[in-house]
Amino acid sequence: METKFWELKKNPEAAIGEAAELIRRGELVAFPTETVYGLGADGLNGTAVEKIFAAKGRPGDNPLILHIADTEQILPLTTGLSENARALMDTFWPGPLTIVVPRSEIIPDGVTAGLETVAVRMPSHPVAVALIRAAGCPIAAPSANVSGKPSPTNAQDVAEDMTGKIAGILDGGNCGIGVESTVVDTTSPVPTILRPGGITREMLEERLGVVEVDPALNGDPALRPKAPGMKYRHYAPKAPVYLYEGPRAADRLTEAAMRAQKQGMHIGVLCDDRVKARLEGSLRRGHTLEILSWGEGKPDLAEHLYELLRDFDRLAPEMIIGMGVDEKGLGLAVMNRLRKAAGYQILLAEEDRIAVRSGKDFPEFLLVPEE
């Protein structure tokens, strides 16, 4: 299949018109949102939706999100909206929030993975909004990557995964937030976060009061996913990833990287600017470490995480070691992605020891605390 690539800076109206026509014809088009690039199809066309799963290699029990451009477009998609759903729509739409509501009969089973609920969001990115309106239908759109790989936050990374598999790619530049939308189940008595994202738990609680976090976020493979990204390993680069968490995460990461350097290992290191500067000031010339920094704070980590994970694929280290952040605010979302990228291979870096939080078969050089 030939994949058309539109640079929106040149003629955005014509590009969006052509892309919308392909959507109406049952084809797939990748497009930017404020979170990540989405792989879009007519969300009410079951045959078109099946093409999403084929292009991504996505498991059929992993539901999709329907994207709409105007609030009233949700009404035909659901049998009813709770007060919590309406409150979230009024407060956070358009934006990086997806709500799970009871589904209506017009939605194909492929969108919902056979569940009695459907996930819906109204993006704020002008290209996404324009495409949905021009197509005249809700657009089903997971992230535009091969299933399991880091989500794309620019059109070039979409092209790397999807050229020859889909009809077109709309290049709208880099995404601003960098992690997928927050998903909240509004059908339960207490609103429940099924996937953390750009709308934080604290923001939700300020609007709704008590908000729970679904236990399936811990990666239990026995639980059936109610929202995208709950069950399967995601966001993973080719090299295995090991993650330090806890109060001494930065120190233990630094020590492990120095040991790797002494052993001549080709290791990727994912850290912030402070740790990168510390390492680069201590490493001998000609070292084989690949040190990538996300910047300073959690917003920087969210914006650049997937891009950095893809950069590691290009650098091809034998393994990657990274450091976690606390779960306050945006930390809940970025740690969810980091843990999934690591396949829950996590070490707890405490004051006087390194303990295994989850996982097994850790390389020995990661487990030795400095005296």
Say how far apart CA 305 and CA 151 lie, in whole Å.
Answer: 9
pLDDT of residue 216: 78
Q: pTM, whole model, 2 decimals?
A: 0.93
Q: Mean per-residue pLDDT for 268-281?
A: 95
Strand-pair partners of 4: 168
- pLDDT tens-digit profile of 114-133? 999 999 999 999 999 999 99
CA 341 to CA 150: how far, in whole Å?
8
Lowest average pLDDT, out of 134-143, 144-153, 217-226, goes to 217-226
Task: Give the model's confidence band at 61: pLDDT under 50 very low, under 70 low, under 90 confident, else very high.
Answer: confident
Q: Are strands 319-323 and 267-271 parallel, antiparallel or unpaired?
A: parallel
Q: Is 237 left (phi over 0), alpha (psi -120 to 50) or beta?
A: beta
Question: Looking at 46-60, 88-102, 209-223, which range is the least confident one?
Answer: 209-223
Report in angstroms the alpha-carbon separations of 310 from 33, 76, 101, 238.
19, 39, 34, 9
Residue 88 and residue 148: Cα distance in Å, rounded? 29
Confidence (pLDDT) at 366? 96
Is the pLDDT at 226 greater than 80? The verdict is no
CA count, 13 A, side-chain hemisphere, 349? 25
